[in-house]
Amino acid sequence: MNEFPRTLKLLTIWLLLGTLVFLGVQALLHERQRPRLTINGGQVTLQRGPDGHFHWPGTVDGREVVFLVDTGATTTALPGALAAQLGLRREGTLQSQTAGGTVMAWQARAEVGLAGGLRFSNLTVTVIDRMNGPPLLGMDVLKRLRLVQDGATLQASLP
């Protein structure tokens, strides 16, 4: 019995083809979710993501993150899990109004960087322990920029 039966060979081929198709679809979905931006001098142009939002790659205390640009957020907000991983120190508690209602949160300070060379040192951020999803880039940062939205693009530059 040196050869696989014909049925087993066909099954193996179909499983391999199915795996390749699955991996190809996963790679395509990952590529579609990746933030699209161009940097031209001091201007960053973000393309709206497939979810309808603008996403801006950056860092928090050196850790790479992708911020969700949120003009409805007063401050930049981080999930509690990310703050714990970064070892951020609690500087006070507060109540925060979110789309889901009022939640307890706390404040910390962090170094925030955005693709395009923008840096915000010692920025006070809001940490929401039960926050799911990406960090939010709030108006505390956005108000320091000149923003122009034109359809599916958002241009940001220093004023």
Per residue in 3-30, is it b (16+ CB within 10 Å) or e — as a string? Answer: eeeeeeeeeeeeeeeeeeeeeeeeeeee
CATH entry, 55-143, from 1.25.40.10, 3.90.1150.10, 3.50.50.60, 2.40.70.10? 2.40.70.10
Q: Does 37 score more than 80 pLDDT?
A: yes
The model scores a pTM over 0.85: no
Share of the chain above pLDDT 90, in %: 61
User: Where are the chain's structural domains?
Assistant: 1-33, 55-143
pLDDT band, residue 158 (cuts 50/70/90): confident
The yes-or-no verdict on residue 73 having pLDDT over 60 is yes
Please determine, for residue 56, whether its predicted confidence score (pLDDT) is greater than 60: yes
CB-CB contact of 45 with 54 (8 Å): no
Instruction: Return d(Cα 158, Cα 43) in angstroms, integer.
Output: 8
Mean pLDDT of the region 32-60: 87
Q: Which residue has tokens 């929401």?
A: 128
**Residue 103 pLDDT level (bands cut at 50, 70, 90):** confident
Residue 52 predicted with pLDDT over 60: yes
Give the span between the Cα atoms of 99 and 97, in whole angstroms.
7
C-alpha–C-alpha distance, residues 96 and 44, integer Å: 30
Q: Which residues contact 45 (CB under 8 A, 6 or more apart)?
A: 37, 38, 39, 153, 154, 155, 156
The mean predicted confidence, pLDDT, of the chain is 89
| Phi, psi angles (nearest 5°) of residue 58 | -170, -160
Report which of residues 13 and 81 the model is more confident about.
Answer: 81
Q: Phi and psi for 36 in degrees, rounded to 5?
A: -110, 120
